[in-house]
């Protein structure tokens, strides 16, 4: 038995409007206290696991994170309710260079640099900043309602993950997949570190093409080269032309004088040269351009370093030494001009590489760094996708992933930073060998010398990220968690980090664990601001989700975002969208309020189909159809369609129709009907709340606790599934016609501007007897929903009534009687407009049916549908014309 008083209390104290903040304040702590998000190794259940894309501890979450977390929470809560052991593992990323930059900027405001503090103090400072941001991020996540297992939270620099990083590095080193070498790398002169290719953004810039003459040693004209970077000429060691270029045939093998440096450099021939570009002669600077380096290596050219790691000119540039690279450019151009060697300057658009973190133009430099040999790993990564172990949703990202892996370059993983995982390598001062071990060594493994020093560099932050799906579960130990939850189920992220992160996780997972890190990758779009700019903290256009949460509530924001999710398509930040979702929350709240106020004392009994009304059978059918489609859409990651289904069903069918109809029985005299409807409402509301819970966790818990307080948190209830036994197409067809009749009457009323409380008399002429019976049996509903006080139902053929407004709907005509208030001429005009509309429809159908090819080539069902359509339209037109005649007769009588 239900405690009547409890139910009374629960519905009575519901506010008239839903107050999101009141409800959202209390449930998160309740969930934590109840441990409903905790997941355990549980062999009796199937695991479902998502590792969170760890937010950077640098900053705070923006709308992009809100989107990402909303999708994941939807999936996790849905699976948890479907009986999976669902683990959503939270954590944050130390975000090496990004975080270091943030803290350096803070120091800058105090007039300090990291060197003023020293490495140890600086790192301490970063940890302090990390703690601060971490608590802010945690707060944001909790406000979002994420159902993560906080007990398992990880940080990429914590002890366990550091051990995983160490193990991965040493193992790859031992396998020869990590090596140290001198290569051309991208150098950020501001950050003072090397960067991987991915950390360089290429941007179009308006620049110049300078044409510089390199004279012959004998004072002859020599040749002219074109360059976008004149300052690098100070490091030139050759001029290259295409071997087939007739203009320069006789120059090949000779030398020219490098102006300003007055060095003699050779003219060489190389297929790489594009004769169409500039003058067809390319200045070769092996130390400062990757292509020039390759040419230099092919031709054994010396390398002259002209620019140092601070972006300043080296002593090898003689009179230019010490100048900043851009000052030097001006100086070089001026000097060339003075010497008459600058032939011309053209405007030229070209791309420059910029540091992803600080936008400084990146300098290509030759440097000794640590690299991961990618080709073998890429093979494994490609295989994982090609054999179906990893599936991208939507599929088109597969090609993006494959293209990158097929053309992959080795990955520079060492960074000249202080914040990050140290490189586990020690150099011996005595024998010069290096030691790379899992435990910190005390002596050189080669000569035993104790004179060893650890590599001062740290690892690219993405190296630890690449291990995230298994390092968080305990790898390299074979923990029960790793065995149970790995491979994880799905990775949810934006397409902007497919290369940075997704691809690297797949490669590392395959290589280090032997299996893929996740079976599916759901790629969503990025959130853009109102002007279409990508939202990010560095651009300063990031919106804190808490702003929207404060304004509309978490559930509304989540639901609004969910409705905007499409497969990999970017979405524009549209706060207006949240208004609709907020309104929906209120609708759900009030519908629940109505139900809760009326289910007091209702017993939970099995519903017997024989006791059900047409409307009952209809809503149960629609309800279960919706549930089937809902689960289907969720399985396909179509969360927006899933959300729309629920929205349309709850508002458009449950509230707009069924609840209104149910009032007849709820407030009626028939106790049995009342009990039946109460049971149905209880059942439907229970399903609706559980179905909506993954989308809107707070409001559904708030209402659930009033509907079924004895059941415990809604988080752990089962997700509703369709019950096919309730499918009822005949009821659907009948209610559809019933609705048409009601809408037609309402529409006629609106045309006359009748106030709601003015009841009308209506005659319905049904085209068939069954139709008439059905409508007659539902006259209470028609009366209630269309404001009808007297309803007469009859079967055609029947004389059209005089003094009535008429509308023709599928299967019936409705006549609204208004003796004395009808203006026949006006009404005729309205009917003629209706006839004209239908006539154009008729003609369109007729045209199709007159087409021999349509009849022979179109599928039979399409043709049949067209025939039905024209038949119905013709009947409607005939009815409308009949009505016009009646009205014309009225005019004649006057």
From 203, 205, 227, select the one nearest 214 (Cα to Cα).
227
CB of 202 to RNA, least distance (A): 5
d(CA 675, CA 604): 10
Q: How far is the CB of 21 from RNA (least distance, A)?
A: 10
Non-local (6+) Cβ contacts of 730 within 8 A are: none
Among 138, 416, 586, 803, binds RNA (CB under 7 A): 586
Residue linked to tokens 């943030």: 102
**867 sits near RNA (criterion: CB under 7 A):** no
By C-beta, is 316 or 551 nearer to RNA?
551
Q: What tokens were used for 844?
A: 């369109």
Binds RNA by CB under 7 A, chosen from 577, 622, 625, 673: 577
- Shortest distance, position 746 Cβ to RNA, whole Å: 4
CB nearer to RNA: pick between 565 and 822? 565
Question: Does the footprint of RNA cover residue 854 (CB under 7 A)?
Answer: yes
- Strands (E) located in 400-465: 411-412, 414-415, 425-428, 434-436, 452-454, 458-459
407 binds RNA (CB under 7 A): yes
Stretch 446-475 residues interacting with RNA (CB under 7 A): none
Listed ranges 59-67, 335-343, 563-571, 624-632: which one lies at the site for RNA (CB under 7 A): 563-571
Interaction of residue 201 with RNA, rule CB under 7 A? yes
Instruction: Pick from 437, 795, 841, 875 the residue near RNA by CB under 7 A.
Output: 841
CB of 847 to RNA, least distance (A): 9
**Residues pairing with 527 in the sheet:** 571
Nearest residue to 705 via CA among 696, 694, 713: 713
One character per residue 482-521, x = contact with RNA (rule: CB under 7 A): --------------x--x----------------------
Q: Quick count: other Cβ atoms within 10 Å of Cβ 164?
A: 24
Q: Of 315, 312, 346, which is closest to residue 329 (Cα–Cα)?
A: 312
- Backbone torsions φ then ψ of 159, nearest 5 degrees: -60, -50
Contact 89, 472 (CB under 8 A): yes
For RNA, which stretch binds (CB under 7 A), given 371-379, 403-411, 434-442, 772-780?
403-411
832 binds RNA (CB under 7 A): no
Structure tokens at 578: 């949240």
> Any contact of residue 190 with RNA (CB under 7 A)?
no
State the binding string over 326-355 for RNA (x if CB under 7 A, else -): -------------------------x----
Q: Is 538 in the site for RNA (CB under 7 A)?
A: no
Check residue 873 for interaction with RNA (CB under 7 A): yes
Closer residue to RNA in complex, CB, 113/203: 203
Q: What is the dihedral of CA 366, 369, 375, 380, to 10 degrees?
A: -150
Residues 630-689 that bind RNA (CB under 7 A): 640-641, 644, 647, 651, 655-656, 659-660, 663, 667
As measured in angstroms, the least distance from the Cβ of 18 to RNA is 6
Q: Is residue 790 close enough to count as binding RNA by CB under 7 A? A: no
Report the C-alpha gap between 313 and 325 in whole angstroms.
Answer: 6
Positions 741 through 780 that interact with RNA (CB under 7 A) = 743, 746-747, 749-751, 753, 755-757
Please provide residue 512's backbone torsions phi and psi, each rounded to the nearest 5 degrees: -90, -30
- Nearer of residues 18 and 698 to RNA, judged by Cβ: 18
8 A C-beta contact, residue 630 and residue 646: yes
Task: Give CA–CA dist 467/731, Å, rounded.
Answer: 55
Interface pattern 104-143 for RNA (x via CB under 7 A)? ----------------------------------------
Between 320 and 559, whose beta carbon lies closer to RNA?
559
Partners of residue 435 on adjacent β-strands: 426
Two structure tokens written together for 311: 């972006």
Binding segment for RNA (CB under 7 A), chosen from 49-57, 267-275, 476-484, 851-859, is 851-859
Rounded-to-integer distance, Cα 408 and Cα 706, Å: 57
Verify binding: residue 539, RNA, rule CB under 7 A: no
| 16 touches RNA (CB under 7 A) | yes
**Nearest residue (CB) to RNA, 403 versus 547:** 403
Of 303 and 586, CB closest to RNA: 586
Supply the DSSP symbol for 402.
H
The H or E element spanning position 722 is: none
Stretch that binds RNA, among 25-33, 362-370, 570-578, 670-678 (CB under 7 A): 570-578
Is 836 a binder of RNA (CB under 7 A)? no
Q: What is d(CA 728, CA 732) in angstroms, rounded to the nearest whole number?
A: 6
Q: Which is nearer to RNA, 116 or 406 (CB)?
A: 406
Does 399 interact with RNA (rule: CB under 7 A)?
yes
**Which residues 6+ apart lie within 8 Å of 681 measured at CB?**
595, 598, 599, 602, 659, 662
User: Is residue 551 a contact residue for RNA (CB under 7 A)?
Assistant: no
130: Cβ–Cβ under 8 A, 6 or more apart, which residues?
A: 57, 94, 99
- Which residues inside 594-613 make contact with RNA, applying CB under 7 A? 594, 597
* 208 in contact with RNA (CB under 7 A): no
Q: Which stretch binds RNA (CB under 7 A): 483-491, 621-629, 726-734, 849-857?
A: 849-857
CB-nearer residue toward RNA: 438 or 832: 832
DSSP per position, 232-275:
GGGG--EEEE-TT-GGGTTTTT-EEEETTTTEEEEEEE-TT--T
Given the complex with RNA, which of 174 and 406 has the nearer CB atom? 406
Cα separation, 156 vs 500, whole angstroms: 16
605/603 Cα distance (integer angstroms): 6
94 is a contact residue toward RNA (CB under 7 A): no
């Amino acid at each position: 038995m239900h405690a009547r008083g409890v139910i009374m209390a629960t519905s009575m104290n519901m506010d008239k409007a839903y107050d999101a903040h009141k409800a959202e304040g209390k449930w998160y702590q309740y969930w934590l206290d109840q441990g409903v998000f905790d997941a355990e190794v549980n062999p009796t259940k199937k695991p479902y696991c998502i590792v969170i894309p760890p937010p950077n501890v640098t900053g705070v979450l923006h709308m992009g994170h809100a989107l990402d977390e909303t999708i994941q929470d939807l999936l996790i809560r849905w699976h948890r309710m479907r009986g999976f052991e669902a683990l959503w593992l939270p954590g944050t990323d130390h975000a090496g260079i990004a975080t270091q930059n943030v803290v350096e900027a803070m120091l800058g405001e105090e007039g300090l640099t990291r060197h003023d503090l020293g490495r140890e103090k600086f790192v301490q400072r970063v940890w302090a900043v990390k703690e601060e941001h971490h608590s802010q991020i945690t707060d944001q996540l909790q406000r979002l309602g994420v159902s993560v297992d906080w007990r398992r939270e990880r940080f990429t620099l914590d002890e366990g993950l550091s051990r995983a990083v160490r193990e991965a590095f040493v193992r790859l080193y031992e396998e020869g997949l990590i090596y140290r070498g001198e290569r051309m790398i991208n150098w950020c002169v501001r950050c003072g570190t090397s960067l991987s290719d991915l950390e360089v953004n290429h941007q179009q810039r308006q620049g110049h093409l300078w044409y510089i003459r390199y004279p012959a040693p004998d004072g002859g004209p020599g040749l002219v080269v074109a360059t976008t970077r004149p300052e690098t000429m100070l490091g030139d060691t050759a001029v290259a032309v295409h071997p087939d270029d007739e203009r320069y045939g006789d120059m090949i093998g000779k030398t020219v004088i490098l102006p300003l440096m007055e060095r003699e450099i050779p003219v060489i021939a190389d297929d790489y040269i594009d004769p169409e570009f500039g003058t067809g002669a390319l200045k070769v600077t092996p130390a400062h351009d990757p292509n020039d380096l390759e040419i230099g290596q092919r031709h054994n050219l010396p390398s002259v370093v002209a620019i140092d790691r601070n972006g300043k000119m080296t002593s090898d540039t003689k009179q230019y030494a010490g100048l900043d690279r851009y000052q030097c450019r001006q100086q070089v151009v001026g000097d060339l001009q003075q010497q008459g060697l600058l032939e011309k300057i053209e405007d030229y658009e070209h791309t420059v590489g910029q540091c992803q973190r600080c936008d400084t133009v990146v300098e290509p430099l030759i440097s000794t760094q640590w690299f991961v040999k990618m080709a073998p790993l890429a093979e494994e990564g490609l295989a994982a996708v090609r054999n179906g172990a990893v599936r991208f949703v939507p599929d088109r990202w597969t090609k993006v992933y494959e293209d990158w892996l097929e053309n992959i370059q080795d990955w520079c993983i060492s960074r000249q930073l202080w914040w990050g995982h140290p490189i586990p390598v020690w150099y011996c001062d005595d024998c010069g060998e290096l030691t790379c071990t899992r435990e910190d060594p005390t002596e050189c493994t080669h000569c035993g010398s104790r004179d060893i020093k650890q590599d001062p560099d740290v690892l690219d932050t993405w190296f630890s990220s690449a291990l995230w799906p298994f390092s968080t579960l305990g790898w390299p130990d074979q923990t029960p968690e790793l065995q149970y939850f790995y491979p994880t189920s799905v990775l949810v992220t934006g397409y902007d980090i497919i290369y940075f992160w997704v691809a690297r996780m797949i490669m590392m997972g395959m290589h280090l664990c032997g299996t893929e890190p996740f079976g599916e990758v759901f790629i969503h779009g990025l959130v853009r601001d109102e002007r279409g700019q990508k939202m990010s903290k560095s651009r300063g256009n990031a919106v804190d989700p808490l702003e929207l949460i404060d304004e509309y509530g978490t559930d509304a924001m989540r639901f609004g975002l969910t409705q905007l999710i499409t497969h990999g398509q970017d979405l524009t930040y549209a706060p207006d969208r949240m208004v609709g979702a907020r309104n929906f929350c209120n609708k759900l709240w009030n519908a629940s309020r109505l139900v809760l106020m009326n289910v007091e004392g209702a017993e939970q009994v099995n519903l017997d189909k024989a006791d059900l009304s047409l409307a009952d059978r209809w809503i149960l059918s629609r309800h279960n159809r919706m549930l089937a489609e809902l689960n289907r859409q969720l399985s396909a990651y179509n969360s927006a369609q899933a959300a729309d289904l629920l929205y349309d069903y709850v508002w458009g069918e449950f509230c707009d129709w069924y609840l209104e109809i149910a009032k007849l029985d709820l407030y009626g005299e028939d106790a049995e009907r009342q009990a039946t409807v109460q049971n149905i409402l209880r059942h439907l509301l229970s399903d609706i709340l559980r179905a909506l819970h993954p989308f809107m966790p707070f409001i559904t818990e708030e209402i659930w606790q009033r509907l079924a307080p004895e059941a415990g948190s809604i988080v752990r209830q089962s997700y509703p599934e369709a019950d096919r036994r309730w499918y009822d197409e005949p009821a659907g067809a009948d209610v559809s016609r019933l609705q048409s009749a009601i809408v037609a009457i309402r529409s006629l009323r609106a045309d006359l501007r009748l106030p709601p409380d003015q009841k009308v008399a209506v005659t319905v002429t049904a085209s068939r007897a069954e139709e008439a019976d059905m409508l007659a049996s539902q006259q209470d509903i028609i009366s209630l929903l269309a404001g009808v006080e007297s309803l007469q139902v009859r079967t055609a053929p029947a004389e059209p009534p005089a003094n009535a407004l008429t509308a023709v709907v599928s299967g019936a005509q409705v006549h609204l009687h208004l003796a004395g208030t009808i203006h026949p001429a006006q009404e005729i005009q309205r009917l003629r407009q209706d006839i004209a509309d239908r006539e154009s429809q008729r003609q369109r159908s007729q045209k199709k049916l007159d087409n021999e090819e349509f009849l022979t080539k179109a599928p039979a069902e399409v043709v049949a549908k067209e025939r039905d359509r024209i038949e119905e339209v013709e009947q409607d037109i005939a009815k409308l014309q009949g009505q016009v005649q009646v009205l014309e007769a009225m005019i004649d009588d006057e």
